[in-house]
Amino acid sequence: MTSNAVDNVDLVIGLVSISDRASGGVYQDQGIPALEDWLKSAITTAYRVETRLIPDERATIEATLVELADTVGCHLVLTTGGTGPARRDVTPEATLAVATKEMPGFGEQMRQISLRFVPTAILSRQVAVIRESAQHACLIMNLPGQPKSIKETLEGVKDADGKQVVAGIFAAVPYCIDLIGGPYIETDPAVCQAFRPKSAVRPAPAPLKI
């Protein structure tokens, strides 16, 4: 259980890697480092990260998601791993169990992105949900387990000239966080252009006078 050292920020992001072998020390986890690297490149708003490395146990996954959303106060939680058809893959079930609302569009888009690379993407069961309490709401999204797939899913697919071919799911995340009452998230458009209706776009802050 770790957090980064950034204090006094509004945005809190939880990162959960779900793997029996990585959590048991059989091999080094790659999911959380991949998520951290991508977020650093994409988000320009100050944020704090909470990380958890846990086994494929449904009760543990549910408890971790509840803790991050309700106790830690995360506005966004990204999980990686445990979304296939194997018996131990129970991340989607655990995620749905703690949800107030399901957000099916995210899962649909994740599979559309992955299907451009592998036909087995249809075996993926990633879901996205919102967990709400009286004072707080959190967007929870299941991501693939491989670093390359994590980047493609979040960022989308670009052609050789850098033109967006398929939008990544993170383009819709900042506005979703707006709608559920979370902090305003800005991104680096060279990595991921956040989309908001014009009425929801805030003007850039004026430069400080020295």
Name the residue ranges covered by the structural domains of the chain. Answer: 2-198
As given in the structure block, the two tokens for residue 128 are: 């996205």
Whether pLDDT at 179 is above 90: yes
Domain range 2-198, CATH architecture:
3-Layer(aba) Sandwich (3.40)
Quick one: average pLDDT of 200-206?
A: 78
Residue listed under structure tokens 């000239």 = 161
Mean pLDDT of 1-19: 74
pLDDT at 207 exceeding the cut of 90: no
By CB neighbour count within 10 A (0-12 exposed, 13-18 middle, 19+ buried), where does 166 fall? middle
Spatial distance between the Cα atoms of 69 and 76, rounded to a whole number of angstroms = 8
Interval 34-68: pLDDT, tens? 999 999 999 999 999 999 999 999 999 999 999 99
**50, 13 contact by CB (below 8 A):** yes
pTM of the model: 0.91
Give me the half-sphere count of Cα atoms (radius 13 Å) on the Cβ side of residue 30: 10
Residue 6 has pLDDT above 50, yes or no: no
User: Which residues, 6+ apart, have CB-to-CB distance to 132 below 8 Å?
Assistant: 100, 101, 138, 180
Look up residue 156 and give its DSSP letter: E
Q: For residues 102 and 92, what is the distance between their CA atoms, to the nearest angstrom?
A: 11
List Cβ neighbours of 108 (8 Å cut-off, separation of 6 or more).
Answer: none
Give the per-residue pLDDT at 21: 81
Paired with 51 in beta bridges are 2, 15
pLDDT > 70 fraction of the chain, expressed in percent and rounded: 92
Q: What is the rounded CA–CA span in Å between residue 160 and residue 4? A: 35
